[in-house]
Amino acid sequence: MQPGSGEAHQHVGSVHAADAEQALQNARDVYARRGEGINIWVVPSDSITASTPEDMGPFFDPGNDKAYRHPQFYKVPRGVRL
């Protein structure tokens, strides 16, 4: 679901459907009843390749001790307004 113009789509949920058009209608009926968005993408679940819980360590842990990957050592030059 795209919450507003220019914003990135966000996952809002899943629906059962026989094909793409029905999935789109079901998503509209289930997730867009209260003005939640302006655009819907539906993707068949078998088209999604996902990491598994076992991947947690090798995928995400190595980032934790490499603080230099974050931008906090960069000093914002004077005159640049945030």
13 is a contact residue toward another protein (CB under 8 A): no
17 is a contact residue toward another protein (CB under 8 A): yes
2 is a contact residue toward another protein (CB under 8 A): no
d(CA 40, CA 44): 13
Using CB under 8 A as the binding rule, the residues of this chain from 30 to 59 that contact another protein are 30, 33
CA proximity to 40, closest of 64, 15, 73, 58: 15
Calculate Rg over the CA atoms of the chain: 20
26 is a contact residue toward another protein (CB under 8 A): yes
| 3-class SS of residue 16 | coil
Length of the chain as a residue count: 82
* CB nearer another protein, residue 3 or residue 24: 24
Residues that bind another protein (CB under 8 A): 15-18, 21-22, 25-26, 28-30, 33
